[in-house]
């Protein structure tokens, strides 16, 4: 992690080093640290990232732990800038990354309006927020909206996943969307249900517009057991569950799925935006605003 932080934010290391070299910084002079001999690590500094003093003023180490998880430089700069503008806590930063704010902004026709609402809208975090991998979903030809909410994005994602799997052919047969199951007058909905004629089993898909949580496996296992007892016939093989999420920790997935009798797979999906030029212009403009204030 420290190596990744060093390679992602060398400008911060340089800024801190310059401050430590100032007269009066006796601690550095008395230490055995040789700043000239720090190991050379390939830097992936973003050209869009705000200046180091702003990053250090607004973000803690824990903020940077979340930011370095964002591999794309333009996307990371977007969250840096919006985090500075909105004075985001670590929880708020994590929330916006997991809810795909960058992608929703890129898809929204009125980008400024969507972002301005973040400042006026209180950040409410609910308890739920606490077979291919990855799926790349390209949003070309998507119907234009002024702003893309999380619900809008989830609907669009389900549309694309449904079309994507059907276009693969090789046995995928669409069966249901938002399939309702009821036990003791309590209702749950499975996002997508396919039947695979070659595997001879149902494939249940649960979409998460956030990172993977171990609780998702319990929910999917519940769906699979329901299908085993109430839907599958003697000619069917056991159903398969696929959880699609924006990010996942492989160790967490391994622990969550170990020992299950059911087949549960967890895959990541990524969104390819139609055109990033508008986002790039927005990020450059916002960067100039926060550095000039």
- What are the tens digits of pLDDT across the range 225-259? 999 999 999 999 899 998 888 888 889 999 998 88
CB-CB contact of 167 with 186 (8 Å): no
CB-CB contact of 293 with 87 (8 Å): no
CA-to-CA distance for 78 and 88, rounded, in angstroms? Answer: 13
Give per-residue pLDDT as tens, 4-15.
776 777 766 565
CATH for 129-272, options being 3.40.1350.10, 3.30.950.10, 3.40.50.300, 3.40.190.80: 3.40.1350.10
- Tell me what percent of the chain is helix, strand and coil, each rounded to the nearest 5: 50, 20, 35
Highest mean pLDDT among 24-38, 128-142, 183-197: 183-197
Give me the pLDDT at residue 204, please: 92
Rg of the chain, C-alpha, whole Å = 23
Percent of the chain with pLDDT over 70: 69
Give per-residue pLDDT as tens, 200-228.
889 998 988 888 999 999 999 999 999 99
Give me the pLDDT at residue 147, please: 67
Our CA angle for 127, 129, 135, nearest 5°, is 150
CA-to-CA distance for 157 and 191, rounded, in angstroms? Answer: 11
Give me the pLDDT at residue 14, please: 60
pLDDT at residue 293 greater than cutoff 70: no
pLDDT at residue 53 greater than cutoff 50: yes
CB-CB contact of 211 with 245 (8 Å): yes
CA-to-CA distance for 207 and 270, rounded, in angstroms? Answer: 12
For the question of whether the overall pTM of this predicted structure is more than 0.85, the answer is no
* Closest by CA position to 279, among listed 95, 93, 48: 48
End-to-end CA distance of the chain: 32
3-state secondary structure labels for all residues of 45-98: CCCCCCCHHHHHHHCCHHHHHHHCCCCCHHHHHHHHHHHHHHCCCHHHHHHHHH
Residue ranges of domains in the chain: 2-128+276-292, 129-272
Banded pLDDT at 46 (limits 50, 70, 90) = low
Q: Which residues contact 92 (CB under 8 A, 6 or more apart)?
A: 83, 86, 123
Give per-residue pLDDT as tens, 153-169.
777 778 777 776 765 55
- The DSSP secondary structure of 242-263, one letter per residue, reads EEEESB--HHHHHHHHTT-SSE
């Amino acid at each position: 992690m420290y190596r990744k932080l060093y390679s992602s934010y060398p400008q911060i290391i340089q800024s801190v080093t310059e401050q430590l070299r100032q007269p009066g910084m006796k601690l550095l002079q008395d230490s055995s640290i040789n700043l000239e001999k720090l190991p050379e690590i390939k830097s992936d500094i973003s050209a869009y990232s705000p200046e180091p003093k702003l990053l250090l003023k607004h973000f803690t180490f824990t903020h940077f732990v979340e930011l370095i998880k964002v591999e794309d430089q333009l996307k990371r700069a977007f969250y840096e800038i919006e985090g500075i503008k909105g004075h985001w806590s670590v929880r708020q930063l994590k929330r916006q990354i997991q809810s795909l704010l960058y992608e929703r902004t890129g898809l929204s026709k009125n980008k400024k309006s969507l972002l301005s609402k973040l400042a006026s809208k209180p950040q409410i975090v609910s308890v739920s927020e606490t077979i291919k991998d990855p799926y790349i979903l390209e949003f070309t030809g998507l119907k234009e909206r002024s702003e893309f909410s999380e619900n809008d994005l989830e609907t669009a994602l389900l549309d694309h996943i449904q079309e994507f799997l059907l276009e693969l052919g090789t046995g995928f047969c669409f069966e249901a969307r938002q399939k309702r199951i009821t036990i003791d007058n309590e209702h749950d909905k499975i996002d997508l249900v396919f039947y695979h004629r070659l595997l001879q089993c149902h494939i249940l898909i649960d979409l998460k517009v956030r990172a993977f949580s171990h609780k998702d496996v319990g929910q999917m296992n519940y769906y699979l057991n329901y299908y085993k007892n109430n839907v599958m016939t003697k000619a069917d093989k056991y159903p398969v569950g696929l959880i699609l999420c924006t990010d996942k920790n492989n160790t967490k997935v391994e622990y969550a799925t170990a020992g299950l009798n059911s087949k549960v797979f967890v895959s990541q999906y990524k969104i390819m935006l139609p055109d990033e030029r508008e986002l790039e212009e927005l990020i450059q403009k916002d960067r100039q605003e926060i550095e000039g204030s």
